[in-house]
Amino acid sequence: GPSLRALADRAGVRIGTAVDMTALADDRTYRGTTIRDYNSVTAENVMKWESVEPERGVHNWKPADDLVRFARAHGQVVRGHTLVWHSQLPAWLTSGVEDGSIDAAELRGILRDHITAEVKRYKGKIQQWDVVNEVFEEDGSLRNSIWLRELGPSYIADAFRWAHAADPKAKLFLNDYNVEGVNAKSTAYYELAKRLRAEGVPVQGFGIQGHLAIQYGFPGQVAENLARFGALGMQTAFTEVDVRMILPVDETKQATQASYYRRLLDACLGARSCRSFTVWGFTDKYSWVPGVFEGQGSATPMDETYGRKPAYEALREGLAAG
């Protein structure tokens, strides 16, 4: 049958995947599947700060350059991930703040320079940038991160302004997990986005990661949530979808997983704001899940040997219907 990509092209939408650059270089099946099934790619790790600036002032752009070149060669768009995050920061930065050798004023300049350098490097080549990632707690309060502690809440608006100055055409996104439906955290994003846009801050998109687990059930009010961001004039996107389960796998769990993938995809395709749906890896061979959630896994649409799960077929059917 037709690939996910062919169906997405026909529907005029983006079907994306996170890409593991080591697998892309070493594994032909991985590479072939990335090309065949996806018309959008996101760097799983290589655009993060610890990867692009491992030592202060010493940049390592090669893996990220490779992905951008790969995407261009294969007619894919790129989602940039991610500019401001509390995690995967370079050690020189976190230790410099801890030992007091980097003060708040200097840190603000370092953040501005980081955003400017990375966004400029890929100017015109990134469709959507995850500018700030995971800035709220579950209760809707701002996350107590190095950025909030040192710079105060204005770092968020600053990050969007700096990114916009560096590439005025890229769509700039907020991005987080556990924000599929209407809840305290997604409402905090809604209020933040509304306020920033009223102040003229260039924030154009809301990225919903979509890391689900079948044992927690399907989130409520997903369509309503997408609609309220759409009503602000914003784009939405599913940016990191996977659906994990407690192992071992069985048919019932796989069917539930397939329905969760389908319901997220349907929510996206049913909203005018949402034209981009990305899975956080397409094969269990390289999924981040088992390393982080002990006893859980099988979260992606293909197993370790690239066998298609019911979830893969559910994505196909959803794209064909969309």
Q: Which single residue is written with the structure tokens 């809840």?
A: 183
Helix, strand, or coil (residue 58): strand
Helix, strand, or coil (residue 300): coil
Active site residue 313: no
Nearest of 191, 184, 123 to residue 156 by alpha carbon: 191
DSSP string, 217-232: -PPS-HHHHHHHHHHT
Q: For the chain, what is the radius of gyration of the CA atoms?
A: 19
Regarding 145 and contact with ligand G3I (CB under 6 A), the answer is no
Instruction: Write down the least CB distance from residue 242 to ligand G3I, Å.
Output: 9
Regarding 288 and contact with ligand G3I (CB under 6 A), the answer is yes
Residue from 37, 44, 53, 284 touching ligand G3I (CB under 6 A): that is 44
* Interactions with ligand G3I, residue window 69-88 (CB under 6 A): 87-88
**Which CB, 156 or 227, lies closer to ligand G3I?**
156
| Rounded Cα gap, residues 253 and 262, in angstroms | 14
**Which CB, 143 or 272, lies closer to ligand G3I?**
143
Regarding 136 and contact with ligand G3I (CB under 6 A), the answer is no
Helix, strand, or coil (residue 162): helix
Active site residue 106: no
**Which CB, 127 or 239, lies closer to ligand G3I?**
239
| Rounded Cα gap, residues 47 and 170, in angstroms | 16
Q: Beta-strand (E) ranges in 183-246?
A: 205-208, 211-213, 235-246
Regarding 252 and contact with ligand G3I (CB under 6 A), the answer is no
Instruction: Write down the least CB distance from residue 321 to ligand G3I, Å.
Output: 28
Share in percent of the chain as helix, strand, coil (round to 5):
45, 20, 35
Helix 104-121 vs helix 91-98: crossing angle, to nearest 10: 170
Regarding 180 and contact with ligand G3I (CB under 6 A), the answer is no
Regarding 284 and contact with ligand G3I (CB under 6 A), the answer is no
* Interactions with ligand G3I, residue window 94-123 (CB under 6 A): none
**Which CB, 178 or 257, lies closer to ligand G3I?**
178
Query: What are the angstrom distances between the C-alpha of 53 and each of 57, 61, 124?
Result: 7, 8, 22
Residue from 6, 23, 45, 140 touching ligand G3I (CB under 6 A): that is 45
Regarding 240 and contact with ligand G3I (CB under 6 A), the answer is yes
Instruction: Write down the least CB distance from residue 240 to ligand G3I, Å.
Output: 5
Going by the DSSP 8-state scheme, the letter that residue 308 receives in this structure is B
Number of H helices, E strands in the chain: 14, 10
**Which CB, 19 or 319, lies closer to ligand G3I?**
19
Residue from 34, 40, 209, 300 touching ligand G3I (CB under 6 A): that is 209
Regarding 162 and contact with ligand G3I (CB under 6 A), the answer is no
Structure tokens, 213: 């687990």
**Which CB, 1 or 295, lies closer to ligand G3I?**
295
Q: Which residue is nearest to ligand G3I (CB)?
A: 288
Instruction: Please tell me which residue in 240, 251, 304, 317 is annotated as part of the active site.
Output: 240
Report the catalytic residues. Answer: 134, 240
Which residues contact ligand G3I by CB under 6 A? 44-45, 87-88, 177, 209, 240, 288
